[in-house]
Each structure stands twice: as structure tokens, then as C-alpha cells.
Amino acid sequence: MSKVHPVRSHSNAAAGGINAALNPEDSWESHAYDTIKGSDYLGDQDAIEIMCREAPHEILWLEHRGVTFHRNDEGRLGTRAFGGASAARTYYVADITGQALLHVLYEQMMRYHDKIDRYEEWFTTRLVVGDDGAVVGAIARNIRDGRMEVFTAKNVILATGGAGQAWKPTTNALICTGDGIAQAYEIGCPLMDMEMIQYHPTTLVENGFLITEGARGEGAHLYNANGERFMEKYAPNKMELASRDVVSRAEQTEINEGRGFPNGGIALDITLVPKRRILEALREIVNVGRDFAGVDITKEPIMIRPGQHYIMGGVKTNADGQTPVAGLYAAGEVACISVHGGNRLGANSLLDTLIFGRRSGEHAAARSHDVPMPRIADGHVAEEQAMIDGLIARERTGRRVSEIKDELGIEMNQNCAVFRDAAGLAHCLETIQRLEEEAKTAYIDDRGTVFNQDVLGAIELSYMLTCAKATTMAAIERKESRGAQFRTDFPSRNDDEWLKHITVSRNGGADPEIAYSPVTITQWEPQERTY
């Protein structure tokens, strides 16, 4: 079940590639160490070991099913360099890797069309919990005609992505509204590492459109308005290929200190890459530069800035995708295992999704043999339909849903972004609480049933507010700087007090309840992180 056609999933935006230690001179241990270091030692090392051990098999499995990974001059699978990595281990399809994977995987699913029921363009509004506390299905709305149905299931796997639309601007698609995160939270699942919000170093100044890290992997440089290649100051060894949190903070520091360009950006110079290579490996970015910035990236630099990109946190799961609620699984950006900790390495997102998506499916399939098909009591559909009817019937006395969403996004981008402090986060929380009240009376224009995006937008707004509140409260709680969380009032990492996960959960009240859980360390002890 998907609220868009599956090949329109936001995984399309994972352009740069997928990591794996497949080359003989590389090792899964090196990949794991880079991931742990990139996480600023907040990642759980047992889960990271699983991901990195299984990565080579995943690449070969995909290649054997038709993913046309780049080949080098010798005809072998080729790689490119990515940020925070000690080896070039990113396998890619030009700059459309996610899109290529989605199409191949959808083709594989269609091989079993007689066994798999597909519900495309259905919007899930609520998870259903049985009398024993286990998830037994979901309520969903057919977007095409407004019909509501209950879906009974022995297991439910959330693969709904992140909540980037709670920020403005964001690289995330309009569908990334935190649906699964909020729905799991509502039934009692804890959320973990929610304060860790990744800002990608290279998004278009004009609209936040993503410029793949593959550009820097191919050799592009960053320059400030003074013509300085400023990454020499912040990461003298890795330069532009330091971890994303390091590069984003460096860029934002240059902008804040007056060395950005008049439009508030930094120059990304891709002209250093040979034109033939740009047209081969970065062809979509050529189109993006021309269509959205009016720039020919083969001839002149393009203006970029850090932009909201990814949520390292999400629904707390184990390595088999199990949440603390029986029958409920989660995989991909909606889930927090935690393999990314405080900062995700580029090209580890597709890997996370594939490895733990497969493991979730395998575990859920095995569990299905041991549990009977549940029965769902009558009345759930009627309740959800009444909720939607109430949205449609609201008088036009409050604010528009879009206005509230825009204010939320601007607030989060101002005060829960690359740099944070107590005052800004407190203002952010106050704003969210006010917007929650305003959302209760927000009105919509469309009163129909066919592709009523206004109704979906109102429901999505509640999801985004839930995710934003959990993020802000966790950011207030973590009084240190680690990974993507940089507190100007607590600028140092503090392992003695804060080498732990922060979880937020619903305990009967309106506000999240804060708790902690330990970070799993297997063989790599925390060290000072330098690039």
C-alpha cells in the first residue's frame, strides 16, 4: 500500500549511489568504522556491523536483477568517492541510482502480480491495535474516490520515509510528512534520535533542490565569495568529502560570518570535473542547474547552501525491524535502528533501506506462520470517516492548512537547523504548540472525494507537527553538540553525560515523555572526530 505509485517514492532522490565494501582491497570493517565515526559514535555498532557485512551481497543481488550499475574501463563495477569514507565504495547509476533501483524492484514485484495485491494511491490514516496490544491492521483512504477501508494484517511494515516537509525549504518530496513516525508514536512506539536532523551541504539557494554529493565525489570544490576553498580550514584532510554535518556547518559558518555570496549562498564549482565525465555521471544535475538555476554547470559554478535533507531518528526498532509494539515493523528513514546515529554518511540511506527492509520482511513473514489472522471490531472505518467528514465540514474561520505548514517549516529551518541554542529551541516549541491549536480549526477548500489533496494535507499537518515537537523536545534535552545537533550554548561533545540515545514516547499525555537508552559499542571506542 502506498500513497503514491511506488516508483514515485522519495527514494528517487537518493541520486548518488549505495555503499558497500565489495572491492577486495576494502573491508566491511572499514565501512563500519567510517559509518560509526560519521555517526559521531551515536550509532549502534551491532546494527552497523550487520549492515556493512551484508552490503556486498545486496549490491550483487541488485546487479543480478538488472540494476545497471556503472562499469569502469575494465568492465568491472565502478565506484565513486563519497563524504566521510576512507575508500571509494559507492556504487552508482549516473546520478539516478534510487530511481534505477525503484524501477527494478517494482519489476520484481510485478513478477508475482498474481500473488501480491497492490494498493497504489491509498492513504493510511491510522494503525489499528487489537485487544492484546498488537497491531492488527490499518485504516486507509482510496485517494482516487475517497472510499475508506480497513485492512486486516498479521503484521504491518512501515516504509513511509521521513518528515522533511516539516522544514522549509527541504530536499524532500511533498509526500515526506512523517506519516508512519506519527502513527507509530500515537499507538505508543518510542521515537529515537529525533533531534538528529541532517542538513545536506549542497542544495540550490533558490528552492532547496538537492545537488547530489556525487558532484563533490567527482571532484567539485566549494568556494566562498572571497574565492577561498574554505574547507581547508575545517577538514584539511578530507576537504569537501568530510562528513555532511561537518561540511554543512562549515558552509553555514562562512555565510554567517559574511563570506557568503549576496544571495546567501556558497559556490559549488563543478567545472573542475571534465565535461565528458559530467555528462556521463552527473547528467541530471546538468538539467537541474539549467532548469532551476539558469546555470550551465559545465561552464560556471552553481550557488548552494545547506538544506534539510534527512532524519537520522525515527521509530525505534531492532535489527529485524521489530518495534516494541507486536506486529509492527519499520524500515528505511521512518525507522531508527540506529545505524546513522548523529549523522548519516552519504550513500548509506539506500543501503539501510534495502538491508533492513529485507530483514523486516523476512522476520514478519516468519512471524505470520505463528499467529492467526486477527479480527478487527466494527466501527473503526466509521470513526475515521467521521474524522474526515469533520475536516471537510469546518467553517472557514481559522487559518488555511498551507499557511500553518509554511509557518512551521520556516520556524524549524530557523531554530532547529544547522546551529541551535536554548532560546531558539524554546521559541520553536512555543510556535509548534500554538500551531497545534490552530491546526484544530484549520479549514480546507476542497469538499469533494476525488483526489482531495486538501483532506490529506490536513491529516499530514498533524503528522508533521507531531514529528516537529518530538524533534524539538529531544534537541532541547541533548545539552551537547554531536553530529547534526550543534548547540552553540553547548559547543562540545560530552561522552560522559550524553553518549546515549534520547527516546520520546507518548504516555497518555499530549507531550512526549523523555527517556534514554544506551548506545551499543562492540569494538570501536569513541574518539575525537577529525577529517
| Residue from 435, 471, 431, 453 nearest 174 by CA | 453
Q: What is the pLDDT of residues 130-142, one digit of tens each?
A: 999 999 999 999 9
Q: Which residue in 89, 126, 141, 244 is the catalytic one? A: 244
CB 45 within 8 A of CB 524: yes
Residue 363 pLDDT:
98
Q: Which domain CATH number covers 398?
A: 1.20.58.100
Helix (H, G, I), strand (E, B) or coil at 97: helix
Residue 8 and residue 102: Cα distance in Å, rounded?
A: 8
Q: Rounded to the nearest 5°, which phi and psi values hold at 258?
A: 90, 10
Last residue of a domain, one of 251, 271, 305: 305
Residue tagged 559530467 (cell numbers):
278
Residue 377 pLDDT:
84
CB 325 within 8 A of CB 187: yes
Residue 12 and residue 9: Cα distance in Å, rounded?
A: 6
Instruction: Indicate if the pLDDT at residue 255 is higher than 80.
Output: yes
DSSP 71: B
Residues 6 or more apart from 484 whose CB is under 8 A from it? Answer: 195, 196, 197, 198, 199, 245, 312, 342, 343
Residue 512 pLDDT:
83
Which domain covers residue 287, as residue numbers? 203-305
Answer yes or no: is 101 within a domain. Answer: no
Last residue of a domain, one of 287, 305, 323: 305
Helix (H, G, I), strand (E, B) or coil at 497: helix
Instruction: Identify how many contiguous H helices and E strands the chain contains and give both numbers.
Output: 15, 17
What are the cell numbers at 517? 537508552
Residue 318 and residue 336: Cα distance in Å, rounded?
A: 8
pLDDT-based confidence at residue 350 (cuts at 50, 70, 90): very high
β-strand partners of 311: 197
Number of Cβ within 10 Å of residue 65's Cβ equals 12
Q: Rounded to the nearest 5°, which phi and psi values hold at 279?
A: -70, -20
Helix (H, G, I), strand (E, B) or coil at 21: coil
Residue 384 and residue 137: Cα distance in Å, rounded?
A: 14
What are the cell numbers at 367? 512471524
Q: What is the pLDDT of residues 285-342, one digit of tens each?
A: 999 999 999 999 999 999 999 999 999 999 999 999 999 999 999 999 999 999 999 9
pLDDT cut 90: percent of the chain above it: 94
Q: Which domain CATH number covers 215?
A: 3.90.700.10
Residue 88 and residue 83: Cα distance in Å, rounded?
A: 10
Answer yes or no: is 288 within a domain. Answer: yes
Residue 421 and residue 419: Cα distance in Å, rounded?
A: 7
Counting every residue written for the chain, the total comes to: 531
Q: How many domains does the chain have?
A: 2
Last residue of a domain, one of 277, 305, 333: 305
Residue 435 pLDDT:
98
pLDDT-based confidence at residue 239 (cuts at 50, 70, 90): very high
| Residue from 198, 210, 297, 208 nearest 245 by CA | 198
β-strand partners of 329: 157, 322
pLDDT-based confidence at residue 451 (cuts at 50, 70, 90): very high
Strands in 130-273 per DSSP E: 135-142, 148-152, 156-158, 191-192, 197-204, 221-223, 266-269
Answer yes or no: is 224 within a domain. Answer: yes
Residue 483 and residue 342: Cα distance in Å, rounded?
A: 4
Answer yes or no: is 229 within a domain. Answer: yes
Residue 124 pLDDT:
96
SS (H, E, C) 296-312: CCCCCCEEEEEEEEEEC
What are the cell numbers at 236? 584539511
Residues 6 or more apart from 378 whose CB is under 8 A from it? Answer: none
SS (H, E, C) 173-204: CCCCCCHHHHHHHHCCCCEECCCCEEEEEEEE
pLDDT-based confidence at residue 190 (cuts at 50, 70, 90): very high
User: Quick one: 301 and 401 in the same domain?
Assistant: no
* First-to-final CA distance of the chain: 42
Residue tagged 575508500 (cell numbers):
87
Answer yes or no: is 472 within a domain. Answer: yes
Q: What is the pLDDT of residues 196-212, one digit of tens each?
A: 999 999 999 989 999 99
Answer yes or no: is 405 within a domain. Answer: yes
Q: What is the pLDDT of residues 52-93, one digit of tens each?
A: 999 999 999 999 999 999 999 899 999 999 999 999 999 999
Q: Has 71 been annotated as catalytic? A: no
Answer yes or no: is 461 within a domain. Answer: yes
Residue 111 and residue 441: Cα distance in Å, rounded?
A: 46
Radius of gyration of the chain (CA): 22
Q: SS3 breakdown of the chain: % helix, strand, coil, rounded to 5?
A: 40, 15, 45
Answer yes or no: is 74 within a domain. Answer: no
DSSP 262: T
Q: What is the pLDDT of residues 467-526, one digit of tens each?
A: 999 999 999 999 999 999 999 999 999 999 999 999 999 977 767 899 999 999 999 999
Helix (H, G, I), strand (E, B) or coil at 151: strand
Alpha-helical segments (H) within 344-396: 349-368, 380-393
Tell me the pTM: 0.96
